[in-house]
Amino acid sequence: MTEAGSDRARVLDAEDPLHHLVDEFVAGGDVIAYLDGNSLGRPTRNTAGRVRDFIDGEWGGRLIRGWDESWFELPLTLGDRIGEAVVGAAPGQTVVGDSTTVLLYKLARAAWDLNQGRTEIVIDRDNFPTDRYLIEGIAAETGATVRWIDAEPRGGVTADDLDAVVGEQTALVVLSQVAYRSGHLLDVPAVVEVCRRHGALLLLDICHSAGAVEVGLDAWGVDLAVGCSYKYLNGGPGSPAVAYVARRHLERIRPPIWGWMGAAASFEMVQGYTPAAGIRRILSGTPPIYAMLPMMDMLDLIESATVPAIRAKSVTLTEFAIDLVDGQLADLGVTVASPRDPRRRGGHITIDHPAAQAATGRLWERGVIPDFRHPNGIRLGFSPLSTTFGEVAVGIAAVGDELRRAAERTGM
């Protein structure tokens, strides 16, 4: 680590109004720089106690009575809490339920049925693989035509890109608010305007944005959204995802997977399926109550910090990282593969170099944890409440060390 980078990191950490929250997270093991918080957030220190209390008190003490006392409503009450604190949704429109993939399928397939008579679904080729695969599968199932957007890979989809592809036959548009590779931040209000003008529904993937950047689903007029909870909501590996359905669609939407927890009067077990009123109809099987526990502690921290303050730190973290890359890694052939304008950038950046994949493996061995993205990207993800500027400086200096060693080995 350069002395200048280290000195600046110390100043930034000292000035950070959220720095005290770093101690609220588990930071064990041999990791010296965790730069992958946009893939899996650290657990909070309170989570272990919450889980123990749940086992001893609610699960162990109340047993099956827990369903009547709180568990049956938890997907909705927790959804409302996420709606208010994180994604800008009024009560009754957000629910915690299945995995991200299942919820994306449910909402995309239901949206196709809502816009019957149209023949096309629009998505970009740089969207996360699950999103693309699901849409290809729905097209195979329904006969829909997939219209692809070819966006700038170091940027992302713009309203102009969308306007060139969407049309009167477009039933559904599927886009990510933050691009998983480049970190490009979508201009959601502009995209909503394009969709509205053509009568298309918008399904917004907020997996890489919820908890790191400001999200205003109601204010923007988004139709549908899905986000995961294991990134910036720190719910843990495989924790359940969050679905949003705008109130104007709730009584018409009919998800394709019918299950008892999404039915009206679930415990009456009647013959024939009738969907529950409101957002509960998005549920299918028994919701993973145990897996919802960890995100509650992270929501405590998000509510105390507020998303605007979290976003402000996120911008400063990514600006600092880009400055270090420019100053320390550019002479090694490293390029920034993310938007430089912070207004168009989410909570992570990607840097490109031919030796990125090999370097990432060696970085992991020394306790510096970014991740690799094909073909040549090292993705640096900063979870604002748990990532320090010192970690960023240590991590980028280590990237430089490994790339120099790679150059010495190859003679490049």
Tell whether the model's pLDDT for residue 128 goes beyond 70. yes
Per-residue tokens: 90: 């009024």
Interacting residues of 331 by C-beta distance below 8 A, sequence separation 6+: none
- Residue 227 bridge partners (DSSP): 242
3-45+306-410 topology per CATH:
Aspartate Aminotransferase, domain 1 (3.90.1150)
pTM here?
0.97
Per-residue tokens: 385: 């409440």
Instruction: For the beta carbon of residue 363, count every other beta carbon within 10 angstroms.
Output: 22
What's the rounded Cα separation, in Å, for the pair 399 and 271?
A: 61
Tell whether the model's pLDDT for residue 412 goes beyond 60. no
Give the pLDDT confidence of 251-288 residue by residue, as tens digits: 999 999 999 999 999 999 999 999 999 999 999 999 99
What's the rounded Cα separation, in Å, for the pair 351 and 363?
A: 15
Angle at 98 between CA 120 and CA 383, to 5 degrees: 95
- Catalytic annotation present for 205: yes
Provide the mean pLDDT of the chain.
96
Q: Which of 72, 230, 232, 244 is catalytic?
A: 230
pLDDT value of residue 1: 59
Parse the chain into domains and list their residue ranges: 3-45+306-410, 72-302
Q: Which of 231, 311, 313, 373 is catalytic?
A: 231
Is 5 within 8 Å of 328 (Cβ atoms)?
yes
- Catalytic annotation present for 231: yes
Tell whether the model's pLDDT for residue 148 goes beyond 90. yes
Angle at 154 between CA 156 and CA 125, to 5 degrees: 50
What is the band of 28 on the pLDDT scale with cuts at 50, 70, 90? Answer: confident
CA atoms within 13 A on the CB side of 258: 10
Query: Which CATH number is 72-302's, of 3.30.450.20, 3.40.640.10, 3.40.50.300, 1.10.10.200?
Result: 3.40.640.10
Residue positions counted in the chain: 412
Per-residue tokens: 152: 């700038």
- Catalytic annotation present for 128: yes
Tell whether the model's pLDDT for residue 219 goes beyond 70. yes
Q: Which of 128, 132, 147, 218 is catalytic?
A: 128
Per-residue tokens: 259: 């299950």
What is the band of 3 on the pLDDT scale with cuts at 50, 70, 90? Answer: confident
What is the band of 161 on the pLDDT scale with cuts at 50, 70, 90? Answer: very high
Give the pLDDT confidence of 357-397 residue by residue, as tens digits: 999 999 999 999 999 999 999 999 999 999 999 999 999 99
Instruction: For the beta carbon of residue 322, count every other beta carbon within 10 angstroms.
Output: 20
Average pLDDT (292-309) is 98
Q: Which of 205, 297, 352, 371 is catalytic?
A: 205
pLDDT value of residue 411: 58
pLDDT value of residue 322: 98
Sign (positive/negative) of CA torsion 168, 174, 178, 183?
negative
